[in-house]
Amino acid sequence: MPRTALRRRSDKVRLALAAGMGAVWLARGLRSAGQYELRGKTVLITGGSRGLGLALARELAWRGARLAICGRDPESLERARASLARTGAEAIAVPCDVTDRQSVQELVEAVHRHLGQIDILINNAGVIEVGPAETMSLADYEEAMGTNFWGMLYPTLAVLPEMRERRSGRIVNITSIGGKLGIPHLLPYSASKFAAMGFSQGLRAEVAADGIKVVTVVPGLMRTGSPRNAIFRGQHRSEYAWFSISDSLPGLSISAERAARKIVEACRRGDAEVLFPVTTRLATVANAVAPGLTTNLLGMVDRLLPDAGSRPRGRHTGSESHSWLSPSWLTRLGDRAARRYNQLAPARGKTTE
C-alpha cells in the first residue's frame, strides 16, 4: 500500500479515536454537571438509628452533609447520634413514629428549627415480618403498610411543598426486591413494598417538572444485621435461621457500606431506579421476561421453607429465635454488621433495612 494511503488511514484512525474519547469525556462532563452537591445539604433519614439508615448517615456525613435522623427507640437513636458526632458530623436525632402523621409533622418542624430547609429526604424506615401466609394476622399487614407505605408517604408529603417552592430537592425511597417479586414467607412486607414502588415511580413523573428528583432504590439482601429486629411467625427459629443465613452469605447479600455508597451516588445523579446486588437485577429481568417461570421457581423455594408448625400464631423477634444454626459461623458477617450498625438494642419489632 502506498505511503500516502497509509498516512491517510492512520489520520482517520486517530480522528476516530479522538472523536470517541471526546464523546466519552463529554458524556462524563454532562453527567457530572447534573450531579447534586451533597456538602452542606440537610438530609433527613427516617429509620436512621441503625442498619442501612445508619450506614447512609455515615456515608453522607463523610461527604459533608448535615444530618437529621429519626427512629422510634430514643436510646438507640441517641447511640446513633453520638456515634455520628464522634466522627465530626453535624447531626440531630429526633424520636418519631413515621406511621403517625402528626409525629412526622413535628419531626419536620424540628429539623427546620435546628438545621433549616430539608434538601434531601431518605425514606428508609421499615418493618419485616417473616413466616407462612397462614401464620400472618391482619395486624401484620396493617403494620407493614403503616411503616413501609404510609411511613414513606407522610414524610414525603411533609417536605414536598418546600421543595416545590425552591424547585429543587431529592427524595430517595428505599423499596425492595420484594416490591418487584412476591416473595414467599414475606407477604405483608412484599405487599407493602409493591405499594411503595408504585408510589415512588409515579411521584417521580409528577414532580420532575418541579426540579425534584425521586430515586427508587430496589435492594436485595443486605448485611445490616436487621434480622435480629424482624418479626418471625410459625416455626420462628427455623424461619430466623434461613432468613439470617441468607442475609449473611457473600454473593447473596451486599455489605451495608457498599449499599450506602450505591444509594448516595444514585441520589447525586438523580437516577430513576437503582437495583443491587446482581442477584436482584437478574431476578427482576427474569420476572419481566418469564413471569410464569419465575413464579414456578419461587414455588419450589416455598416448598423448601418451614411450614406453619403446630403454633402458627406466635410472634417473636429474631433475637428471641436463636438456634444451633443461627447465630453460627454461617451468620458471621451478619453478626458483625449487627454490632457495627446498632442492631443489638431492644427494637419493639421495628427494623431499619
Helix, strand, coil percentages in the chain from 3-state DSSP, rounded to 5: 55, 15, 25
Distances (CA, A) of 293 to 283, 297, 299: 11, 6, 10
Number of other residues whose CB lies within 10 A of the CB of residue 15: 10
Is 331 part of any domain? Answer: yes
Q: Kindly indicate the confidence band of residue 35, based on its pLDDT and cuts at 50, 70 and 90.
A: confident
Contact 52, 260 (CB under 8 A): yes
Q: Kindly indicate the confidence band of residue 13, based on its pLDDT and cuts at 50, 70 and 90.
A: very low
Contact 345, 79 (CB under 8 A): yes
* Predicted local distance difference test score (pLDDT) of residue 24: 41
The answer to whether the pTM exceeds 0.85 is yes
Is 150 part of any domain? Answer: yes
Find the range with the poorest average confidence among 18-22, 27-31, 144-148, 303-307. Answer: 27-31
The catalytic residue positions are 189
Is 27 part of any domain? Answer: no
Query: What average pLDDT does this structure show over 146-168?
Result: 98
Helices (H), 208-318: 236-246, 256-269, 278-289, 291-304
Is 250 part of any domain? Answer: yes
Query: What average pLDDT does this structure show over 10-25?
Result: 52
Reported residue count of the chain is 353
Is 13 part of any domain? Answer: no
Query: What average pLDDT does this structure show over 170-198?
Result: 97
Is 18 part of any domain? Answer: no
Question: At which residue does the C-alpha cell 434538601 appear?
Answer: 119
Is 191 part of any domain? Answer: yes
- At residue 125, what is the residue type? A
Number of folded domains that form the chain: 1
CATH code assigned at 191: 3.40.50.720
Domain range spanning residue 313? 36-348
Is 316 part of any domain? Answer: yes
